[in-house]
Amino acid sequence: MIDKEVTVIGAGLAGSEAAWQLANSGVPVKLVEMRPFKSTPAHHTNEFGELVCSNSFGALSPDRAAGLLQKELRIFNSLIVQTADKFAVPAGGALAVDRSKFSNALTEILSNHPLIQIKRIEQLDLPSKENITILATGPLTSDNLSHKIQVFTGVDECHFFDAASPIIYGDSIDHEIVFKASRYDKGDPAYLNCPMNENEYTNFRNELIEGEQANLKDFEKESANFFEGCLPIEEIARRGIDTMRYGPLKSIGLWNPKWGNLFDRENRLNKRPHAIVQLRKEDLKGKLLNMVGFQTNLKWSEQKRIFRTIPGLEKAEFVRFGVMHRNTFLESPKLLLPTLQFIKRENLFAAGQITGTEGYAAAAAGGLLAGINASLIAKGKSVVTFPDESMIGSLMNFISNKNEILSSHKKNKFQPMPASFGLVPELATRIKDKRLRYNAYQQRSVDSLNNFKNKLEYIFNKDHTLLEIN
């Protein structure tokens, strides 16, 4: 018997992962991607899985929520995380990638898979209910499809404003001022740091607050609803004189050997900069640098003028200026099950950022689950959920109808959520020490997922989720 074809709409991180899972289980896939036929306010290429805001997947260590999520995805040899590992660039204790190589590799792998048919068209409507479909169009879903989804769900769309950081040429910074270091000496000294004294910081903050903003285009008349996890730097500056210093510009944990003895407390306190702007490599050679935490909606001319007041960036040349765009997501607790199926249509799944998960690894996790369950339906089998004890399972519970029953989400209060240990069930025995507690969460998750993996292998009679890329 030939398995039913599954349509995956959107070739971002979730859609790419879902297509990979489906094809490796023997299910034919039609992968629909509207670029280059139609682009978005944030994308710059036609490649699959383009990373538009940052090149970082978050902390690597499995005793951090993002790191545990990555570890869980590695257990299933996630296409997204395998590719990220292959094209990783130094980023201290985080997993960051060479954006171009990462998305180029995803595009090549999926385009050459014999069971994946690529359709470069704009999807104008939801397929009929007879079709098995995964909706993975992300937070930049086209207006036409967004309207159709709204009509289907009967729920007004939710949205927030998101912004991307500028990227500068690595050879345009002043290395006499900028120094290499990672916070608290974790990992290699992968970050480049621009130190500011108090006067420089104060002047910089004032310039940010007074800088001219870019128009928000077709939605400029709406009140800006920012996502708290990705605030524009000028919005952070407005919230208080020291808000940036306790956020993306904090200098604690960073030290330049030129300043003298780190272990001399008086020297350390006297020499420590008032604030620090960090730059992270976009590629292995450091030809391109991302301004960490500098999402912005300033006009491009203002970005160039204001950011060049940062010590070491006086002659910075910009590859890409920061941009701002509206992100759309579903009010998922009213619409989805923990399997990522729509309550109103079992053949229709949602995955990725459109569901209200935040972060690249979380998007891949949604694609992984949606791909597995869509392949099960295509084979006439029952769908599955990830264990509650896992970070993946906890995220899916949060965005799903199961979580609505547990915590009674109120209308219009649902907001995107990144991986967090606050989502996982409590341990049977309370552990006060945070590090030990997080390690216990990690071990419990790994144990539950190994059992779950065995269950999947039995259901499929083949190890399709464990295929490694070349």
**Is 203 among the domain residues?**
yes
- Give the mean pLDDT of 251-264: 77
Which of the listed residues 323, 346, 378 is the one where a domain comes to its end? 323
- Claim to verify: residue 291 and residue 337 sit in the same structural domain: no
- Tens-digit pLDDT profile for residues 199-248: 999 999 999 999 998 875 443 344 445 556 678 899 999 999 999 999 99
Helix (H) or strand (E) run with residue 6 in it = strand 6-9
Query: Residue 325: is its pLDDT beyond 60?
Result: yes
Which of the listed residues 280, 299, 323 is the one where a domain comes to its end? 323
Helix (H, G, I), strand (E, B) or coil at 345: strand
CA distances from 316 to 81, 291, 309, 440 (A): 32, 11, 10, 45
- Give the mean pLDDT of 355-361: 90
- Claim to verify: residue 292 and residue 343 sit in the same structural domain: no
- Tens-digit pLDDT profile for residues 126-142: 999 999 999 999 878 88
Q: What range defines the domain where residue 375 resides?
A: 6-157+330-466
Whole-number mean pLDDT of the chain? 86
- Claim to verify: residue 348 and residue 213 sit in the same structural domain: no
- Claim to verify: residue 287 and residue 194 sit in the same structural domain: yes
Q: How far apart (Å, rounded) are the C-alpha atoms in residues 5 and 375?
A: 9
Before 416, cis peptide (omega within 30)? no
- Claim to verify: residue 133 and residue 262 sit in the same structural domain: no
How many CA atoms within 13 Å lie on the side-chain side of 17?
34
Helix (H, G, I), strand (E, B) or coil at 57: strand
**Is 224 among the domain residues?**
yes
Count structural domains, the chain.
2
Query: Residue 164: is its pLDDT beyond 70?
Result: yes
Q: How far apart (Å, rounded) are the C-alpha atoms in residues 338 and 381?
A: 17
Which residue, chain included where needed, has tokens 């927030």?
160
**Is 370 among the domain residues?**
yes
For residues 154 and 345, the answer to whether their CB atoms sit within 8 Å is no
Q: Which residue has the higher pLDDT, 29 or 261?
A: 29
**Sheet containing 191-196: order of strands:** 179-180, 191-196, 275-281, 288-291, 167-169, 318-320
* Paired residues of 277 in beta bridges: 194
- Give the mean pLDDT of 422-443: 90
Q: How far apart (Å, rounded) are the C-alpha atoms in residues 292 and 72?
A: 26
Q: Which residue has the higher pLDDT, 458 or 336?
A: 336
Which of the listed residues 260, 291, 323 is the one where a domain comes to its end? 323
- Which has the closest alpha carbon to 289: 175, 201, 183? 175
